[in-house]
């Protein structure tokens, strides 16, 4: 004997019911079956709506009733041949007429009692099971229909009646002692009192019906047919990477179903657990899929955590005060008053000091619970021995579940550190002595991030998903996107980093795709995006609230640089090649550093100095290891080095600057490079990272540009001025040649003073042979006294700068 239960989606329409019939026919060839059926998809909600409409004198209940009738009549006509429809159609009409009478009564009396509500809600299962039974008789003649109200006996607690198992089991056994049918179809969810009054078993009660019947008949297994491939490691609608669980114990399944795993109604497990009857969760739409087996013989798969689940819409109520310490019966009084107020307690935790008790209840129960508790403890509150209870809403519970968790150390630590790294604040924690469940209460807005972060940590081979929000897709930005596209597969396979670009923006458009932007068509998609607004961009990043979020700034824009604090406060990491923030006022620089530490959000800017060279990282390591930097000498502008390496008697200064722009070595406004301000920013950042406090105004800028060149307001006028002052630049070149030296724009720091300016470099100096767009930095420290620590390499260009940004992103992924 097997018991099969089919959910609402499985019987939603004729196409789905034909799939159900195929499953039944296949199994009926070898086994006797009891088939338990839910109401058609959405019908229970329609019935509830019609009842509520009628009770408040809303005549729209008639339209809702007509919709219900139409759904069932059309379904029957699709499944039963025309020549056999007459009797079933009449039966359905009689059921609908009965339903109409009940609804009319609610309308006339302006009342909907729990008893009447149960009777009205029962019609969904009565109709669906009857239609399925009629359709099944077309292919399996030895099949029949049985009203489960004749079997399952309950008390009169309408809405969620308690089953009288002794009487129910006897009725089912007695019936089956004389039953010869190969397949029996019964409605789920509904039952009756001994007096024959209809009751229901709670929403999801069709699973429970099936379990009751399976236990009474000692079935070989109970099959729950639904629209997913079993129980999942997390909610697949929230966690895209969730995987079906092959085997799971009764206790683990009970924990997961209690914590919101909708595939199974929690009370279902108890009847079959006592008889050791396995439960199979199967997919009606993929019947060959493995599904999930729930039994006492759940195989260990090496992972002590079997699943992650959650309960939405939770409120925390905290009762605290010195009047509770050492006072017997405080907890008893609290829980008694909640029981009397009909409030179900979902979560409990108590401080060992006995100073406070914290409970979790559904949001809907919270106001009445708060009122009842304050009333029960009003004397202690008046005497200031206990504070009025504190209510916090808009919370949810997230839980790790696994039978073998008790045998593995450190799981709690991993759970809480994983949440903490993504700025998910934990409001309360509970863990039972069985250690089968670790629960934490968090803000409801963080649930998606929390579930995905925990699933990544415990189920995805430690793969870390990085979600990138990129502003700036010019020369460097395009190279950055190319590098991501090229390396995406390598990173996932070798470093366990899954990179997704969630948002892109330029000065005109911005584009958001929560599941990741297609890296092959991003340019076309961005062109069709919405208008770029920086604050809107920030708000969308906040609202998405994704784990491991990284804001990537590939601009030289001051407004963008001023937004970093907003990201860091939301625990969004910042990676930037934009030097403005770190060379701004020292207080702002320190604030960004502090925000990064406080909110566990990396703030990386390696490309601020030396493009892709590891200059800043080297300084950080020197300082962290206890070394002290005393002197820095550097050529920090790849643009200026390119310009002065190519400026000679055959190439005018104007032409060389033009060529540097064409090759992408200068900023769009070349004055930023040629004025020395860019180099001043770079040396300032190195000074600050070396542990010194300095402002940009304290750096002496020995400009080589004539004042009229600096005073131009656009690029055309600037390049015209370079031609007008060609003799000025030729004179500088002639002096260098006369001194047998080369021109280099040098930044230096020593004895607390810093300067940037053009220098004549002799042949014996390390800077003399610096070619092309290369940078060079010399660090003189406590450890590097006679011979400085030297870093040298390409310091400009879109590709190397993009690679430096990319390296910072990867660094975050490997932390």
CA 734-735-741 angle, 5° bins: 100
**Structure token digits, residue 597:** 């530490």
Close Cβ partners of 713 (under 8 Å, ≥ 6 residues apart): none
SS3 187: strand
pLDDT in tens, 569-587: 999 999 999 999 999 999 9
> Computed from CA positions of residues 504, 509, 515, 518, in that sequence, does the dihedral angle turn out positive or negative?
negative
pLDDT in tens, 761-778: 999 998 999 988 889 999
Which residues belong to CATH 3.40.50.720 in the chain? 464-610
CA distances for 17 relative to 75, 88, 92, angstroms: 9, 17, 18
Report the Cα–Cα distance between both ends of the chain, in Å, rounded: 55
**Structure token digits, residue 118:** 């149960």
Provide the pLDDT for residue 123: 98
Average pLDDT over residues 545-568: 96
CA distances for 401 relative to 66, 154, 258, 282, 439, angstroms: 45, 32, 11, 21, 9
Provide the pLDDT for residue 434: 58
In CATH, what is the architecture of 2-226?
Answer: 3-Layer(aba) Sandwich (3.40)
**Structure token digits, residue 141:** 């003649």
Task: Please check the confidence at residue 219 and state whether its pLDDT lies above 90.
Answer: yes
Which residues belong to CATH 3.30.360.10 in the chain? 615-796
Residue pair 732/755 in contact (Cβ under 8 Å)? The answer is no
Q: How far apart are CA 111 and CA 93, in angstroms?
A: 25
Provide the pLDDT for residue 323: 81
Closest CA to 480 of 794, 810, 803, 796: 803
Q: How far apart are CA 3 and CA 28, in angstroms?
A: 11
Provide the pLDDT for residue 594: 97
**Structure token digits, residue 694:** 């300095």
Tokens 């911005």 found at: 510
Average pLDDT over residues 112-127: 97
Q: How far apart are CA 265 and CA 769, in angstroms?
A: 76
Could you tell me the pTM of the whole model? 0.77
Residue pair 476/573 in contact (Cβ under 8 Å)? The answer is no
Q: How far apart are CA 696 and CA 676, in angstroms?
A: 12
In CATH, what is the architecture of 307-459?
Answer: 2-Layer Sandwich (3.30)
Three-state SS sequence of 18-62 = HHHHHHHHHHHCCCCEEEEECCCCCHHHHHHHHHHHHHCCCCCHH
Residue pair 545/464 in contact (Cβ under 8 Å)? The answer is no
Q: What is the mean pLDDT of the chain?
A: 92
Q: How far apart are CA 612 and CA 616, in angstroms?
A: 10
Closest CA to 232 of 285, 290, 277, 300: 290
Provide the pLDDT for residue 663: 85
The dihedrals phi and psi of 279, each to the nearest 5 degrees, come to: -110, 130
> Computed from CA positions of residues 528, 534, 535, 538, in that sequence, does the dihedral angle turn out positive or negative?
positive
Task: Please check the confidence at residue 36 and state whether its pLDDT lies above 70.
Answer: yes
CB atoms within 10 A of CB 341: 17
Continuous H helices in 491-585: 522-527, 534-544, 558-561, 564-569
Task: Please check the confidence at residue 146 and state whether its pLDDT lies above 60.
Answer: yes
- Indicate the range of 172-186, 349-363, 708-722 predicted with least confidence: 349-363
Q: How far apart are CA 755 and CA 742, in angstroms?
A: 19
Q: What single string gives the DSSP state of each residue in 445-477?
A: GGHHHHHHHHHHHHHSTT-EEEEEEEE--SHHH
Give the residue numbers annotated as catalytic, written as ranges.
682
Average pLDDT over residues 806-810: 96
- Among 327-336, 388-397, 426-435, name the most confident range: 388-397
The dihedrals phi and psi of 88, each to the nearest 5 degrees, come to: -60, -40
Residue pair 340/369 in contact (Cβ under 8 Å)? The answer is no
Q: Where are the beta strands (DSSP E) in 66-196?
A: 143-145, 183-187, 190-192
Q: What single string gives the DSSP state of each residue in 199-255?
A: EE--TTHHHHHHHHHHHHHT-SEEEEEESSSS-BSS-TTT-TT--B-SEEEHHHHHH
Which residues belong to CATH 3.30.2130.10 in the chain? 307-459
Q: How far apart are CA 93 and CA 85, in angstroms?
A: 12
CATH classification of 615-796 is 3.50.30.50, yes or no?
Answer: no
Task: Please check the confidence at residue 682 and state whether its pLDDT lies above 60.
Answer: yes
Closest CA to 795 of 770, 812, 766, 778: 770
Closest CA to 9 of 232, 210, 183, 206: 206
In DSSP terms, 596 is beta-bridged to none
Task: Please check the confidence at residue 261 and state whether its pLDDT lies above 70.
Answer: no
Task: Please check the confidence at residue 95 and state whether its pLDDT lies above 60.
Answer: yes
- Indicate the range of 283-287, 411-415, 649-653, 756-760 predicted with least confidence: 411-415
Residue pair 311/396 in contact (Cβ under 8 Å)? The answer is yes
Provide the pLDDT for residue 463: 82
Average pLDDT over residues 314-323: 91
User: What is the chain's length?
Assistant: 815
CA 435-450-541 angle, 5° bins: 170
Q: Per the CATH hierarchy, to which homologous superfamily does domain 464-610 belong? A: NAD(P)-binding Rossmann-like Domain (3.40.50.720)
Task: Enumerate helices (H) and strands (E) in the chain, giving the number of each.
Answer: 30, 29
pLDDT in tens, 470-514: 999 999 999 999 999 999 999 999 999 999 999 999 999 999 999
Residue pair 422/571 in contact (Cβ under 8 Å)? The answer is yes
Task: Please check the confidence at residue 52 and state whether its pLDDT lies above 90.
Answer: yes
Confidence of residue 435 (pLDDT cuts 50, 70, 90): low
Residue pair 53/61 in contact (Cβ under 8 Å)? The answer is yes
**Structure token digits, residue 345:** 């307690």
**Structure token digits, residue 368:** 């009445």
Closest CA to 11 of 206, 175, 184: 206
pLDDT in tens, 383-407: 999 999 999 999 999 999 988 787 7
pLDDT in tens, 174-215: 999 888 899 999 999 999 999 999 999 987 889 999 999 999
Which residues belong to CATH 3.40.1160.10 in the chain? 2-226
Provide the pLDDT for residue 326: 76
Residue pair 551/567 in contact (Cβ under 8 Å)? The answer is yes
**Structure token digits, residue 598:** 């406080």
Residue pair 447/396 in contact (Cβ under 8 Å)? The answer is yes
- Indicate the range of 123-132, 224-233, 426-435, 697-706 predicted with least confidence: 426-435
């Amino acid at each position: 004997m097997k018991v099969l239960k089919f959910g609402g989606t499985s019987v939603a329409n004729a196409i789905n019911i034909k799939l159900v019939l195929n499953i039944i026919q296949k199994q009926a060839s070898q086994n006797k079956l009891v088939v338990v059926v839910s109401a058609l998809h959405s019908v229970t909600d329609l019935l509830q709506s019609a009842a509520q409409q009628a009770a408040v004198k809303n005549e729209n209940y008639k339209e809702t009733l007509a919709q219900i009738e139409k759904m069932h009549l059309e379904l029957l006509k699709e499944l039963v041949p025309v020549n056999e429809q007459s009797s079933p159609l009449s039966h359905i009409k009689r059921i609908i007429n009965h339903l109409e009478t009940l609804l009319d009564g609610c309308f006339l009396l302006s009342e909907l009692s729990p008893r009447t509500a149960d009777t009205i809600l029962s019609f969904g299962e009565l109709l669906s099971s009857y239609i399925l039974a009629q359709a099944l008789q077309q292919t399996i003649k030895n099949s029949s229909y049985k009203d489960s109200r004749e079997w399952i006996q309950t008390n009169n607690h309408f809405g969620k009646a308690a089953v009288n198992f002794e009487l129910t089991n006897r009725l089912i056994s007695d019936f089956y002692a004389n039953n010869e049918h190969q397949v029996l179809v019964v409605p789920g969810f509904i039952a009756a009192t001994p007096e024959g009054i209809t009751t229901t078993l709670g929403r999801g009660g069709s699973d429970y019906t099936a379990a009751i019947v399976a236990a009474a008949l000692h079935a070989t297994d109970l099959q729950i047919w639904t629209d997913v491939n079993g129980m999942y490691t997390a909610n697949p609608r929230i966690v895209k990477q969730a995987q079906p669980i092959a085997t799971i114990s009764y206790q683990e399944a009970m924990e997961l179903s209690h914590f919101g795993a909708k595939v199974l109604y929690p009370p279902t497990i108890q009847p079959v657990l006592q008889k050791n009857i396995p439960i199979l969760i199967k997919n009606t739409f993929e019947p060959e899929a493995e599904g999930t087996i729930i039994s006492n013989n759940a195989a260990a798969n090496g992972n002590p955590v079997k699943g992650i689940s959650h309960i939405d819409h939770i409120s925390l109520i905290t009762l605290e005060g010195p009047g509770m310490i050492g006072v017997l019966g405080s907890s008893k009084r609290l829980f008694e008053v909640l029981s009397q107020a009909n409030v179900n307690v979902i979560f409990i935790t108590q401080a060992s000091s006995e100073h406070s008790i914290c409970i979790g209840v559904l949001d809907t129960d919270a106001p009445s619970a708060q009122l009842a508790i304050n009333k029960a403890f009003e004397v202690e509150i008046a005497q200031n021995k206990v504070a009025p209870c504190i209510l916090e809403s808009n919370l949810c519970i997230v839980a790790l579940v696994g039978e073998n968790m008790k045998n593995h150390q450190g799981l709690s630590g991993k759970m809480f550190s994983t949440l903490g790294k993504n700025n998910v604040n934990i409001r309360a924690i509970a863990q039972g002595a069985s250690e089968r469940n670790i629960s934490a209460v968090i803000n409801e807005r963080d649930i998606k991030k929390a579930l995905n972060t925990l699933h990544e940590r415990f189920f995805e081979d430690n793969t870390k998903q990085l979600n990138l929000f990129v502003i700036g897709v010019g020369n460097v930005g395009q190279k950055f996107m190319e590098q991501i596209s090229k390396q995406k597969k390598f990173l996932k396979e070798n470093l366990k980093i899954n990179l997704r670009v969630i948002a892109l923006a330029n000065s005109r458009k911005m584009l958001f795709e929560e599941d990741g932007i297609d890296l092959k068509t991003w340019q076309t998609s961005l062109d069709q995006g919405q208008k770029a607004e920086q604050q809107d961009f920030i708000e969308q990043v906040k609202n998405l609230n994704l784990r491991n979020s990284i804001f990537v700034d590939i601009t030289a824009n001051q407004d963008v640089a001023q937004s970093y604090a907003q990201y860091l406060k939301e625990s969004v990491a910042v990676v930037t090649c934009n030097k403005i923030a770190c060379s701004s006022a020292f207080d702002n620089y320190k604030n960004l550093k502090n925000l990064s530490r406080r909110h566990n959000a990396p703030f990386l800017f390696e490309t601020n100095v030396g493009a892709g060279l590891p200059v800043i990282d080297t300084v950080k390591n020197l300082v962290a290891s206890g070394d002290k930097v005393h002197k820095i000498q550097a050529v920090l502008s790849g643009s200026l080095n390119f310009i002065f390496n190519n400026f000679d008697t055959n190439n005018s200064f104007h032409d060389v600057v033009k060529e540097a722009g064409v090759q992408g070595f200068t900023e769009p406004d070349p004055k930023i490079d040629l004025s020395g301000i860019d180099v001043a920013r770079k040396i300032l950042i190195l000074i600050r990272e070396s542990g010194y406090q300095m402002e940009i105004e304290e750096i002496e800028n020995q400009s080589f540009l004539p004042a009229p060149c600096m005073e131009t307001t656009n690029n055309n006028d600037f390049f015209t001025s370079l031609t007008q002052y060609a003799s000025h630049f030729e004179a500088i070149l002639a002096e260098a040649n006369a001194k047998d030296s080369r021109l280099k724009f040098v930044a230096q720091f020593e004895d607390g003073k810093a300067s940037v300016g053009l220098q004549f470099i002799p042949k014996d100096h390390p800077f003399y042979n610096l070619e092309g767009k290369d940078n060079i930095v010399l660090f003189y420290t406590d450890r590097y006294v006679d011979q400085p620590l030297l870093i040298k390499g390409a310091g400009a260009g879109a590709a190397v700068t993009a690679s430096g940004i990319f390296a910072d992103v990867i660094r975050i992924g490997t932390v």
